[in-house]
Amino acid sequence: MNIDITDVTRRFGRTRAVAGVTMSAGPGVLGLLGPNGAGKTSLLRMLATVIPPTSGRIRLLERDPGVAAQRRAIRRRLGYVPQHLGYYPSFTVVEFVEYFALLKEVPAAQVPRAVATAVERVGLGDKARARMRTLSGGMLRRAGIAQAIVNDPELLLLDEPTAGLDPEQRVAFRGLLRDLGQTATVVVSTHLVEDVGAACAQVALMDGGRIVFHGTPQELTARGEGRTAAGDAPLERGYSTVLAEARS
């Protein structure tokens, strides 16, 4: 399993953002759904080794991120797009992606090809030499995804990756997700239920720091059938039903 976490909690002061999550995931695309404040971003940041858990055990790519040497090995094979993507305005798209490739220790000789591949995969080939400051919000998002996949990661963590993308770009992005999920474990945190339905083989629904549902999108859809929960689509009704049950 590329992700194997047991009873993980994370506190920020008195606030418990993640409250005893146990989960495992292998290759494939896992959608992480949940309302605002559910703990999705905190869980992703722990999986990305940005922050350690307050308690519990995390193993990523068969390694312990609590050990410096193993954490470094994990990070070489990790891709991450945070919710608020930062960037250096004066860098070109290629420089931005190359910068991360080098920091992820992609062998120098492989960097040009890896960068070109990543930039092409997110559809920014024609903007490769453009400065980051000149890109639109959607393009910036795609540049962020390019830096995440430049090292051909085995574990890819995407926090709200489709925010700012237009419908055409989102469709293309879902295709990219499915492609990446062939070999890697991809965790996508999103509010957009339709993204999950279209691209994810597995879905986990978080609420109050806990995972209240873990299954396939079809199973989530089934939970809403015959119910009067809110939602325009079957998957949304499943989502609302599970949340209502968890809170009752």
Specify the residue, 70 or 219, whose C-beta has the smaller distance to other proteins. Answer: 70
According to the binding rule CB under 8 A, does residue 110 interact with other proteins? yes
Interface with other proteins (CB under 8 A), residue from 103, 171, 233, 244: 103
Which residues make Cβ contacts (< 8 Å) with residue 7, sequence separation at least 6?
20, 21, 22, 55, 56, 57
What does the alpha-carbon distance between residue 68 and residue 43 come to, in Å, rounded to a whole number?
20
What does the alpha-carbon distance between residue 150 and residue 87 come to, in Å, rounded to a whole number?
16
Which 178-217 residues touch other proteins, going by CB under 8 A? none
Interface with other proteins (CB under 8 A), residue from 1, 19, 111, 201: 111
According to the binding rule CB under 8 A, does residue 147 interact with other proteins? yes
According to the binding rule CB under 8 A, does residue 104 interact with other proteins? yes
What CA dihedral angle connects 83, 88, 92 and 96, to 10 degrees? -60
Q: How many residues bind other proteins (CB under 8 A)?
A: 37
What does the alpha-carbon distance between residue 96 and residue 27 come to, in Å, rounded to a whole number?
27
**Coil vs helix vs strand at 225:** coil
Q: Taking the complex as a whole, how short is the minimal distance between the CB of residue 238 and other proteins, in angstroms?
A: 32
Residue 223, H or E segment = helix 217-224
Could you give the count of Cα atoms lying within 13 Å of 138 in the half-sphere of its Cβ? 12
Q: Taking the complex as a whole, how short is the minimal distance between the CB of residue 83 and other proteins, in angstroms?
A: 9
What CA dihedral angle connects 121, 124, 130 and 133, to 10 degrees? -100
Which 61-100 residues touch other proteins, going by CB under 8 A? 68-69, 72-73, 75-76, 78, 80-82, 84-91, 95, 98-100
Of the candidate spans 18-26, 103-111, 208-216, 221-229, the one that interacts with other proteins by CB under 8 A turns out to be 103-111
Specify the residue, 122 or 205, whose C-beta has the smaller distance to other proteins. Answer: 122
What does the alpha-carbon distance between residue 113 and residue 123 come to, in Å, rounded to a whole number?
15
Interface with other proteins (CB under 8 A), residue from 2, 9, 49, 202: 49
Q: Taking the complex as a whole, how short is the minimal distance between the CB of residue 172 and other proteins, in angstroms?
A: 23
| 178, 121 contact by CB (below 8 A) | no
Which residues here bind other proteins, judged by CB under 8 A? Answer: 45, 48-50, 68-69, 72-73, 75-76, 78, 80-82, 84-91, 95, 98-100, 102-105, 107-111, 144, 147
